[in-house]
Structure 1
Amino acid sequence: MTANDTSGRHDWTVTGMDCAACATKITTALERLPGVADVQVGVMSERLSLRLEAGTTGRQEVETTVKKLGYGIAPKGQSTGKRKFVMPATPANDHDEHDHAGHDRSKQDDDDHDDHEGHNHSRHDQAKPAKDKAGVEDHSGHGGPGHTHATAPEDMGKHWYQTTKGKLVIGTGLLLAAATAVKLLASEQVALWAFVAACLIGVAPVARRAFAALRAGIPFTIEGLMTIAAVGALFIGAAEEAALVVFLFAVGEVLEGIAADRARASIRALADLVPKTALVEENGVTREVDAASLEIGQLVLVRPGDRIPADGTIAEGNSGIDESPVTGESMPKTKGQGDAVFAGSINAEAALRIIVTKAAEDNTISRIIALVEEAETARAPTERFIDRFSRYYMPAITGLAALVAIVPPLFFGQVWDTWIYRGLALLLIGCPCALVISVPASIASALSAGAKRGILMKGGSVIEAVARVTQVAFDKTGTLTAGRPAVTDVVVLDGSEADLLAVAAGVEAGSSHPLAEAILRWAADAGVAALPSKEAKALIGKGAQALVAGQTAWVASPRFASESGALDGSGSRRASEMEAEGKTVVVVFGQGHALGLIAMRDEPREDAKMAVAHLSDMGVTSVMLTGDNARTGAAIAGALGMEHRADLMPDDKVTAI
């Protein structure tokens, strides 16, 4: 297919944009090309999307036009080639796992105790990259299929002072300072040339962008106004003022870039949830491939501690899945054969084999990124007005400055230098950069701030509508709750609370599971030391077991404790009462007898109830949207006095909104 045969919708990654003026410049230049329609440019997402008609403008022409304007451009989604190695296939359960009881999100029986599942975690430093039997270490924990920068700009990942613009600001600033010092201490004539040098060095890249825009048919740009003002100031002998203005403009551009990069960081963080590589099994042989190349139906091996590289279904194995990177829910879920898993989730301990059900560009993380990008390109009414206004404002201010510089000397005999100076001053004062940037910057700031807190806002129009809302939807974990489980109840059935906690802490010693950490924190706060333990192991879907002070002890689900004969009817009823409150209950027991129950829950934040009450006083109703199960959701929502919807994925939450 030739460049001019390409039709349909096309996407690129564009780098170097700092503000809405950049987006406007690119949009205007591309809209002048034949056959180009529906141009969408996102500054924060660095995204360019447009439609091409067959037989007119091709992709190459689009890329050339953008490059001439001074921006970097590359096809979106380009990835590197595959990296392969061959290793023996590994058994599905070749690691020690550790399991906790929790709320059901897997396929269990329907009686009172069958809605509990194991929350598993490994005792083998699961956060570290796993190694295969050939000793090859996996570094696949970062990267984003479907959202990679194929040709990253040379300044990406650098501190501001290491970038091209940063170096320009520093160099111009040093020249400006040196010229000022020479003016004060030595010769003004020498200082004049230093000011001229500072001005020319600083304005050169600005002038290049202005001329590029002019060649693209965009004569009125911020860069153009700045270039005219700076060069004009030099001609009338105001080199010091010209150098200072150029320096301040460059500082402003650097600050814009820093702000834009911070806003983009939230989107990049989403992409980094998915590993760059995956282990594909074919004919008993495992090979490492680019995660972006995974195809539906392929079998993928996910080792303990690895992130899941694609949406899929478990074909073999059972393990605790930490879905907090995707859903925000702090409690891992125990999943087995036939259960769905999502890209970006963490396999907590046992090896799994997963059948890929969605391609990289359609997985859960990619869909969330697409929603964020769409939100950023959905322009608010005020933003659209400001953009239209600036299109007429810039030619008007340029014409007015020309009139100020020419009319008084030409028709009224005034001094040319004075009025040219005033005309140039009007150009600088009337520069619409702040006007053009103000609304998009505030919207981008709100979008990025929301993304950092797990809130997806569908663009500026929604943000502007906040003043008129009658209902607010809240995420649960980390927004209404603390974001991690805490011990709420300790029920002693035999012995003392100190004995109960010492045994429980001994079983949990060294574990990084959220429930285990909650128990260990509670024991430490109570001043109880964990009893010495060894031979710890997991009983998947049931609990954790260890040899504590020479005797076997368990921290496990009420169901497993009842089946083991350690929990009687009264203990089971007490456990059920606490579970009805949305709490996760574990039983601490030894051979044939239970020491007690420990209940845990991700508790509401102290200010959450007050916030909901304030909204209610304003006539705004609140609803909680959570990926947690219905029982936990109902308990938290009831405590806060709000409605709720449970068992939701991020895209389900967007649909609900």
Structure 2
Amino acid sequence: MADGVQRAGTTLPDGGEALAWRLEGMDCASCVAKVEGALARMPGVSAVEANLMGERLTLRLDRSAGPEATPETVERRLAAIGHPATRLAPPGAPATHRAREAASEAHARGEAFLHAHGDEDDDEAAEGRRWWQTAKGRLVLGLGALVAAAWGLSHLLPREAYWIYLAATLVALWPFGRRAVALARAGNPFSIETLMCVAALGAVAIGAAEEAAVVVFLFALGELLENVAAGRARAGIRALVELIPRTARRERADGAVEAVPAERLGVGDLVRVRPGDRVPCDGEIIEGRSSLDESPVTGESVPVPRGPGEPVLAGSVNADGNLRVRVTRAAADNTLARIARMVEEATASRAPTQRLVERFARWWTPGAMGAALLTILVPPLLFGGDWWTWTYRGLALLLVACPCALVISVPAAVASGLSAGARRGLLVKGGAALEAIGAARTVAFDKTGTLTAGRPRVTDVVPLAAGADDAAVLRSAAAVEAGSSHPLARSVVEAAAAHGIAPPPATEAGTVPGKAVFATVEGRRVEVGSPRHAAEAGAALPAAAAARIEALEAEGKTVVAVLSGGAPLGLLAFRDEPREDAAAGMAALRGLGVTPVMLTGDNERTGRAVAGALGMEVRAQLLPEDKLRVIEAMKADGPVVMVGDGINDAPALAAASVGVAMGGGTDVALEAADAALVRERVMGVAELVALSRATVANIRQNVGIALGLKALFLVTTLAGVTGLWIAILADTGATVLVTANALRMLRWRPAAVPGPSTEAPA
């Protein structure tokens, strides 16, 4: 959201107010430009952002700017330009759609989000309404009947045919003319409505009233077709929210079960999920075991076994067992709701190609009007051409120049690509990131938690101090690591617990960034860190220890040294196995012409052991600042994608051309990176690259269709082969073609990722 605009009715620190509306009639990118342009010049209005696919408007309003700085004034201007708006109520206020199902406190638990995601859309897919039940559908039917009546009367009264068509044209032009005037007064005199009205009135002036009436009808029909297509594209986002069941079986304090709206579930509530039921919330299993079909949320095709203590996602289907689940997220914050919100916001982020097309379109329309004027004037004045003929061709040129198909070509493809990815657990935060992923020739991976499962275990304990045994080394190390959430720290604590060792309390804990952790244990300073840190700290390891470290690292294990009182106490070795699909994921990337590189803080031998098994390059012993330098160096050769866990790798993720977080269901992964993988699969990175390239190819096809048809009909119009109604039909047809082509992206499948041999490159 622009400038922090987050919620309707939110008061900002500077005294302004963040407001939001749902808009009607948002069919193409030109609608976005019209809305933003019309409001940007209003007093007190700033940070205007219109979302095409979300049909949402957000802005900042400073009511102290004058009497016109009111929400009502904004709504009047929106209605005047053809986009009636419904203001979204602030959190806590009742919503019309859900109020019939739940009490008002449901809003405090997330109903505001669900209400804002299309429950009352004015498109063909919303509320079960068909196209003929919408305002634009009724307008098209009315205009069609008017033109048909004029055609019939013209045969009965041929002498009066011109006047009959003139009346039909003027009546049909009324709604579009009002909109064109409103847009001109708002600072947009070169709107598509202006082009169409000028062309239709010009046709009337030269006696082509019949064609003028058909032009207006076809223009309205084109807008309706855009509306229907946009509604179908939005359906992919809306379907995510609709996966959440409307009701849940909540357990009361006395153990009885009651049916309540899912929106009323709060954190800590207990719900029962029967076999075949869809899970109504994000939660944790308290009792029961079952297999869960998570494909609606993550795209995972195989049911996943779940038991006590394990998480479940809202929208997944319980296959075969009774479950008792504790709610861990409110409705507005569950995984599906956050994914839908992120995808909707991503569609408002303009891709570089889209920005280029929009800049081009701003000059295109006035340029087209100038070209049409020259077409009308130059041949008659300089070459003795017929005024009627060249006026007619100039007016047809105006209609050919309508940029609808061009400006919708990019956002329609991007929105479809984002929706297709979201359905399969590939989340991308906008068109810019989606374009950049496919252009990358290098993908850098963190090792722990990304290429590996992030669950290392202690494999070897090597005492070094005289009189020390395995238990002593584990006891001291576990005391230092007890308060850390690092994967290696958890594995030390788990290993100690497995041996029945209770670590003593530790005080004065701290870290040496990227090297070690330390604490005071039973009066002695204990440090757990890399062998390099031990050497830098002056704790010389015995020669036998150095040989043992080399042997362990050659096995792909990570070795840390435990120091007590500045002297070596022992060594711990860990191993974190690569994810099951890591090798296949690297092979798929190589098949796409992308070079995978591992960036790890582990030692060279461990890094090479893991990277060698996966067939990828490796840069080892990297501190966080070293990773940044490596990323910057790689970017000199082209875009770089960095894949990490979204927490420890945040600096590298931010420095890369595109940062991809592994584990899209977490808060950090959804917020920290440019893209996230809901399914923690390495293959998802190759799927992201394939999705990006498919989307970019779709964009190029759309731009080619739009410009190609424009060029074709420009030639035929100037040559006199095609006329007014063919010109507007060509524009409508091009718009429908590019939208239909973009909707093909909704059927994209990850199976498009190539699967070459898994042999490592030489």
Q: Which TM-score bucket, shorter chain as reference?
A: 0.5 to 0.7
What is the SS of the residue equivalent to 1:213?
A: helix
What is the SS of the residue equivalent to 2:98?
A: coil
Q: Which of residues 60, 65, 69 is equivalent to 1:51?
A: 60
* Partner of residue 153, structure 1: 122
The structure-2 alpha-carbon separation of the partners of 1:225 and 1:342, relative to structure 1 and needing over 3 Å to count, comes to same
What is the SS of the residue equivalent to 1:80?
A: helix
Q: Which of residues 184, 198, 211 is equivalent to 1:241?
A: 211
**Contact persistence 2:11–2:17 (CA under 8 A):** no
* Partner of residue 69, structure 1: 81
The structure-2 alpha-carbon separation of the partners of 1:214 and 1:295, relative to structure 1 and needing over 3 Å to count, comes to farther
Q: Which of residues 370, 381, 387 is equivalent to 2:352?
A: 381
What is the SS of the residue equivalent to 1:39?
A: strand
Q: Which of residues 283, 287, 295 is equivalent to 1:312?
A: 283
What is the SS of the residue equivalent to 1:145?
A: helix
CA distance in 2, matches of 1:236, 1:252: 25
CA distance in 2, matches of 1:34, 1:84: 39
Q: Could you list the per-position Cα deviations for residues 68-99 of structure 1 after superposition, in whole angstroms to 9, with x for gaps in the alignment? A: 322243345845226479xxxxxxxxxxxxxx
CA distance in 1, matches of 2:409, 2:374: 28
**Contact persistence 1:42–1:377 (CA under 8 A):** yes
**Contact persistence 1:296–1:358 (CA under 8 A):** yes
**Contact persistence 1:176–1:194 (CA under 8 A):** no
Seq. identity, %: 48
Q: Could you list the per-position Cα deviations for residues 572-618 of structure 1 after superposition, in whole angstroms to 9, with x for gaps in the alignment? A: xxxxxxxxxxxxxxxxxxxxxxxxxxxxxxx99xxx98x98786355
**Contact persistence 1:326–1:365 (CA under 8 A):** yes
What is the SS of the residue equivalent to 2:99?
A: coil
* Partner of residue 16, structure 1: 25
**How far off its partner does 1:36 sit?**
3.0
What is the SS of the residue equivalent to 2:326?
A: strand
**Contact persistence 1:408–1:414 (CA under 8 A):** yes
* Partner of residue 231, structure 1: 201
* Partner of residue 620, structure 1: 594
* Partner of residue 487, structure 2: none
2:244 alignment partner AA: V
**Contact persistence 1:311–1:357 (CA under 8 A):** yes
The structure-2 alpha-carbon separation of the partners of 1:294 and 1:471, relative to structure 1 and needing over 3 Å to count, comes to farther
Q: TM-score scaled by structure 2? A: 0.51
CA distance in 2, matches of 1:320, 1:336: 9
**How far off its partner does 1:325 sit?**
1.6
The structure-2 alpha-carbon separation of the partners of 1:616 and 1:332, relative to structure 1 and needing over 3 Å to count, comes to closer
**How far off its partner does 1:379 sit?**
0.8
Q: TM-score scaled by structure 1? A: 0.58
**How far off its partner does 1:392 sit?**
3.4
Q: Could you list the per-position Cα deviations for residues 525-569 of structure 1 after superposition, in whole angstroms to 9, with x for gaps in the alignment? A: xxxxxxxxxxxxxxxxxxxxxxxxxxxxxxxxxxxxxxxxxxxxx
The structure-2 alpha-carbon separation of the partners of 1:287 and 1:207, relative to structure 1 and needing over 3 Å to count, comes to farther
CA distance in 1, matches of 2:227, 2:331: 30
**Contact persistence 2:98–2:115 (CA under 8 A):** no
Stretch deviating more after TM superposition (54-63 or 323-332): 54-63
2:225 alignment partner AA: L
More helix by share: 2
CA distance in 2, matches of 1:48, 1:381: 22
**How far off its partner does 1:296 sit?**
2.5
Equivalent residues in 2 for 1:469-548 (5 A)?
A: 469-470=440-441
Equivalent residues in 2 for 1:171-570 (5 A)?
A: 172-173=143-144, 176=147, 188-284=158-254, 286-399=257-370, 401=372, 420-451=391-422, 455-465=426-436, 468-470=439-441
**Contact persistence 2:9–2:17 (CA under 8 A):** no
What is the SS of the residue equivalent to 2:122?
A: coil
**How far off its partner does 1:419 sit?**
5.7
1:209 alignment partner AA: R
2:162 alignment partner AA: L
CA distance in 2, matches of 1:296, 1:194: 66
CA RMSD in angstroms comes to 4.5
**Contact persistence 2:290–2:307 (CA under 8 A):** yes
**How far off its partner does 1:327 sit?**
1.6
CA distance in 1, matches of 2:193, 2:64: 34
CA distance in 2, matches of 1:428, 1:434: 12
The structure-2 alpha-carbon separation of the partners of 1:641 and 1:323, relative to structure 1 and needing over 3 Å to count, comes to farther
The structure-2 alpha-carbon separation of the partners of 1:180 and 1:54, relative to structure 1 and needing over 3 Å to count, comes to closer
2:98 alignment partner AA: T
**How far off its partner does 1:267 sit?**
0.5
CA distance in 1, matches of 2:86, 2:614: 49
CA distance in 2, matches of 1:66, 1:639: 60
CA distance in 2, matches of 1:384, 1:413: 42
The structure-2 alpha-carbon separation of the partners of 1:344 and 1:145, relative to structure 1 and needing over 3 Å to count, comes to farther
**How far off its partner does 1:19 sit?**
0.3
1:276 alignment partner AA: R
1:428 alignment partner AA: L
Equivalent residues in 2 for 1:72-91 (5 A)?
A: 72-76=84-88, 78=95, 79-81=97-99, 83=101
CA distance in 2, matches of 1:642, 1:176: 67
Q: How many residues align?
A: 454
**Contact persistence 2:297–2:336 (CA under 8 A):** yes
**Contact persistence 2:26–2:55 (CA under 8 A):** yes
The structure-2 alpha-carbon separation of the partners of 1:341 and 1:455, relative to structure 1 and needing over 3 Å to count, comes to closer
What is the SS of the residue equivalent to 2:301?
A: coil
The structure-2 alpha-carbon separation of the partners of 1:266 and 1:240, relative to structure 1 and needing over 3 Å to count, comes to same
**How far off its partner does 1:238 sit?**
0.9
CA distance in 2, matches of 1:176, 1:54: 46
2:435 alignment partner AA: E
**How far off its partner does 1:257 sit?**
1.9
**How far off its partner does 1:351 sit?**
4.1
The structure-2 alpha-carbon separation of the partners of 1:58 and 1:298, relative to structure 1 and needing over 3 Å to count, comes to farther
Stretch deviating more after TM superposition (374-383 or 215-224): 215-224
The structure-2 alpha-carbon separation of the partners of 1:264 and 1:175, relative to structure 1 and needing over 3 Å to count, comes to same
**How far off its partner does 1:300 sit?**
3.3
The structure-2 alpha-carbon separation of the partners of 1:384 and 1:341, relative to structure 1 and needing over 3 Å to count, comes to same
What is the SS of the residue equivalent to 1:300?
A: strand
CA distance in 2, matches of 1:378, 1:4: 22
What is the SS of the residue equivalent to 2:347?
A: helix
**Contact persistence 1:36–1:50 (CA under 8 A):** yes
* Partner of residue 31, structure 1: 40
Q: What stretches of structure 1 of length at least 5 have no aligned partner?
A: 86-142, 474-602, 624-636
CA distance in 2, matches of 1:84, 1:445: 33
**How far off its partner does 1:445 sit?**
4.1
**Contact persistence 1:19–1:43 (CA under 8 A):** yes
Higher relative contact order, chain-length normalized (CA < 8 Å, sep 6+): 1
**How far off its partner does 1:224 sit?**
1.7
What is the SS of the residue equivalent to 2:407?
A: helix
**Contact persistence 1:471–1:621 (CA under 8 A):** yes
**Contact persistence 2:54–2:117 (CA under 8 A):** no
The structure-2 alpha-carbon separation of the partners of 1:450 and 1:249, relative to structure 1 and needing over 3 Å to count, comes to farther
* Partner of residue 41, structure 1: 50
What is the SS of the residue equivalent to 2:48?
A: strand
Q: Could you list the per-position Cα deviations for residues 618-638 of structure 1 after superposition, in whole angstroms to 9, with x for gaps in the alignment? A: 522579xxxxxxxxxxxxx99
CA distance in 1, matches of 2:119, 2:588: 48
The structure-2 alpha-carbon separation of the partners of 1:367 and 1:467, relative to structure 1 and needing over 3 Å to count, comes to closer
1:264 alignment partner AA: R
**Contact persistence 1:390–1:432 (CA under 8 A):** yes
* Partner of residue 534, structure 2: none
